[in-house]
Structure 1
Amino acid sequence: MPKVTDEYRSARRAEIAEAAQAAFRRKGFQATSMAEIMAESGLSAGAIYNQYKGKADIVHDVANRISRQRLDELDELKAQNPLPAPSAVVRALITAMASDLTAPAQLLQVWGEAATDPDLAEMCGKVYLTMRQAHIEYISLWHQREHGLSPEEADAVGVAQAPLFLSAVHGYVVQSTIVPDFDGAAYLDAMEALLPR
């Protein structure tokens, strides 16, 4: 029997995760069954369970992949010269999030499930801490370049402001999901105009 390579495993997991995201987008995390993920992927139960323990494991992987995409986008923005303002970064991250397979409503579902699922809550907490640290570092770098702050001063500003910028993302997720007349473009304009610079 041929040896299964790490590259093959990684590609198969990505295939399953993408299929799961498509199914989650249609029905939500809670209502999507493993059978529906199998049907979406076109893979057998054995092929999926060779990669994942169950649906919770898939949800965790999908969430981590989404987080990694946002961090990669943040790294790309950090390479720009001049650096975009932190509020412009939040706009870019929200825009990317809203346009990929994971609609904001899915994030709200995950957060809701995390209220009663300790494992999911732990995973969400880790994702938040990772995103917060990435924003702290970005905000610090921006203030050093834009306002000439020392690294120590800029770090202190980053620590203070990062939760505020992340709250703007959370506000977009909640309002775009539950407010019938939510105007996403107006929200992003106001956020970029009013958040600290």
Structure 2
Amino acid sequence: MPKVTEEYRAARRDEIADAALRAFRRKGFQAASMAEIIAESGLSAGAIYGHYPSKSALVVDVAARIVDARIASIEELATLDPMPAPPTLPRTLLTAMLHELGAPGLMLQLWGEGVTDPAVRDLAASVVHRMRATLGGYVSQWHQRTHGTPADQADALGVEQGALFVAAVQGYIVQAALVADFDGEAYLAAQEKYLPR
């Protein structure tokens, strides 16, 4: 039997994760069953379970992939000259996230899963810490480049403001998922107007 390469395994995991995300978009994290994910992928149950021992592991991997892509996009923005002002970051993150997920309620469901599932809770906490660090680093770099702020002061601003930008994204997701007359455009415009620069 030929040896399975790491590239092949990674490609198969990508295929499974993409199928799972399609199923999650349709039914939500809780309602989508492993049987539906298996059917969506077109692979055998053995092929799926060979890569993901449980639906929880698959949920965690799919969510981590989405977050990794968003962090990479912020890091890419930090290479631009001039850098976009930090208050534009919530819109950038949310636009991409909603494109991938289809609806904000899917992210809210994931956070809800974290209340009872330790693996999902660990992922959610890790995401918050990583996003704070990434956004804080961006804010620090922006202040240094745009205002000539000394690095130590810019880093302190980044720590403070990174948490605000994460909260702005979370606030959008919660309200968009739960409030029928939520005006997402007005919310983002207000963030861009009032969040610190």
* Same structural fold, with TM-score higher than 0.5 when normalized by the shorter chain: yes
Match of 1:8 in 2: 8
Identify the residue that residue 98 of structure 2 maps to in structure 1: 98
With 94-103 and 122-131 compared, the bigger mean Cα shift is at 94-103
CA distance in 1, matches of 2:10, 2:152: 40
Q: CA deviation at 1:127?
A: 1.4
- In 1, Cα distance between the equivalents of 2:100 and 2:113? 21
Which deviates further from its counterpart, 134-143 or 114-123?
114-123
After TM superposition, where is structure 1 displaced by more than 3 Å over at least 4 residues in a row? none
Secondary structure at the counterpart of residue 72 of structure 1: helix
Contact kept, 8 Å, 1:77 with 1:89, in 2: the verdict is: no
Question: CA RMSD of the aligned region, Å?
Answer: 1.0
Partner Cα distance (1:94, 1:101) in 2: 10
Give me the whole-angstrom Cα distance separating, in 2, the residues matched to 1:102 and 1:75.
Answer: 24
- Give the distance between the partners of 2:103 and 2:75, measured in 1 at CA: 22
Distance 2:116 2:102 in 1: 22
The match for 1:115 is: 115
Tell me which amino acid in the other structure corresponds to 1:185: E
What letter corresponds to residue 117 of structure 1 in structure 2?
D
Q: Work out whether residues 21 and 102 of structure 1, in 8 Å CA contact, stay in contact via their aligned partners in 2.
A: no
Q: Is the 2:172–2:184 Cα contact (8 Å) retained in structure 1?
A: yes
Number of equivalent positions:
197
Matched residue type, 1:84 = P
Tell me the TM-score normalized by structure 1: 0.97
CA distance in 1, matches of 2:29, 2:124: 14
Name 1:45's counterpart in structure 2: 45
Once residues 41 and 115 of structure 2 are traced to their aligned partners in structure 1, the CA distance between those partners, rounded to angstroms, is 29
Gap regions ≥5 residues in structure 1: none
SS in 2 for 1:50: helix
Q: Is 1:126 matched up with 2:126?
A: yes
Q: Distance in 2 between matches of 1:163 and 1:169?
A: 10
Counterpart in the other structure of 1:77: 77
Q: Does 1:58 align with 2:58?
A: yes
Residue 69 of structure 1, CA deviation: 0.6
SS at match of 1:64: helix
Deviation at 1:103, TM superposition (A): 2.9
Give structure 2 stretches of 5+ with no counterpart.
none
Q: Deviations over 1:129-188 (max 9, x none)?
A: 111111111000011111111000000001111111110000110111111111111111
**What are the equivalent positions in structure 2 for 1:120-159 lying under 5 Å apart?**
120-159=120-159
Per the TM alignment, residue 26 of structure 1 is displaced from its structure 2 partner at its CA by: 1.1
Q: Give CA deviations for 1:102-143 in whole Å, capped at 9, x if unaligned.
A: 532111001011112222111111111111111111000011
Name the aligned partner's letter for residue 188 of structure 1. Answer: L
Superposed counterparts of 1:171-182, under 5 Å: 171-182=171-182
- 1:15-26 mapped onto 2 (5 Å cutoff): 15-26=15-26
